[in-house]
Amino acid sequence: MWASSLSPASAAGGSAASARAGAIDNVLDQAVRSGMIVGAGVMVAERGRTVYQRAVGLADREAGVAMRTDTLFRLASMTKPVICVAALALMERGRLSLDAPVTRWLPDFRPALPDGRRPVITIRHLLTHTAGLGYGFLEPETGPYHRAGVSDGLDHSALTLAENIARIASVPLLFAPGTTWHYSLAIDVLGGVIERVTGNDLPAAVRNLVTGPLGLDTMAFTVPEGTPVAIPYGDGGAAGAVRMTDPFSLKFGPGHVVYSPSRAFDPVAWPSGGVGMLGTAADYLRFAEAIRTGGAGILKPESVAAMTGNAIGDLPVGAAGPGFGWGLGVAVLTDPAKAGLPLSPGSWNWSGLYGTGFWVDPARELSVVALTNTAVAGMTGPFPLALRRAVHAA
């Protein structure tokens, strides 16, 4: 295990900084010691400075490889905000429109309601998960996404992005667009739109619009075979975390999440805008800070405000829980008391099924990235809740 690191500014801040560092250390140590988490990389920035950085536990338990502060992780759904930023950047260039129909760029994307009507689905519906789409892992194994052979993006299917979007379009909509929030493959469809708009594949488009300008060199959809990446583990109950096989199925809600860790090394795997990227904690923190501070030249402050403000009114956000709304790409905290969280109203966040998560508290000028290699304990449950409380304890 690596010792925690405090910046000189935070160390000089006295007891509050030390208390917070100690509280975070305790949460990480307990999670690893108990076997809940195999390894993690955590970074905290406050007022634009890194005030905490620690790698703890193991990147490869069986080989005894320690986690490092520069370890690569599979980001899973932490990919989604990156893709949404790319879409917003295209809007600022006048190449994409929030309320335009998706069919302007994907003419065949016309999924029907159960009664046969084919409603208009807009880019706004995709960004806000109000399009009427779903996810295979959120339905029983006999559900329509499974029957249609739709990939959730974590498995290692031989489909292309266009083929997967066609399969998504073949499944009946769950509800009329704009009437309900439901976590979905909408951002994968948005990835297909971005490809059509730019004329590039999604990795190149994201590189040109987001990661390249911000200098986020580790953030990519695939890496060369042999590149060190944190070995993923799945929750194993009382037996502790188990090393993922390929494929690996994990019970989650009404269905199962199917993982294929080798997908990260496959240069021809279709790029999932919903779950497909890798990166380090340091690069993702730079991404989060770029958005928190107004867009860093890739977005205007007005676009940042639209992305990180509640855009769906009072629609319940089931995947985030009570007290949350949704912006144009992230969950937005509207009522901390209802959510039971010590964050400020207007904080925004998301997480990923490989055991990753981040949050930003703009009122406190605070950004936190917590990447683990343990699904799903690193994403939901006691660990992320304890970590939030530790970060905000001071």
Please identify every residue annotated as catalytic: 77
Strand partners of residue 375: 234
Cis peptide before 111, with omega less than 30 degrees from 0? no
Alpha carbon separation from 107 to 84, 111, 148, 189, 330 (Å, rounded): 21, 11, 20, 12, 27
Element (H, E) at 258: strand 255-259
Q: Which of 351, 310, 346, 350 is nearest to 328 (CA)?
A: 310
In whole angstroms, give the CA distance from residue 191 to residue 182.
18
Q: What is the b/e burial string over 172-209, where b = at least 16 CB atoms within 10 angstroms of the residue's CB?
A: ebbbebbebbbbbbbbbbbbbbbbebbeebbbebbbeb
In whole angstroms, give the CA distance from residue 228 to residue 214.
23
Q: Which of 318, 294, 319 is nearest to 306 (CA)?
A: 294
Quick check: 121 and 106 in contact, CB under 8 A? no
Quick check: 110 and 294 in contact, CB under 8 A? no
Alpha carbon separation from 277 to 41, 78, 183, 238 (Å, rounded): 17, 8, 18, 30
Residue with tokens 């449950």: 381
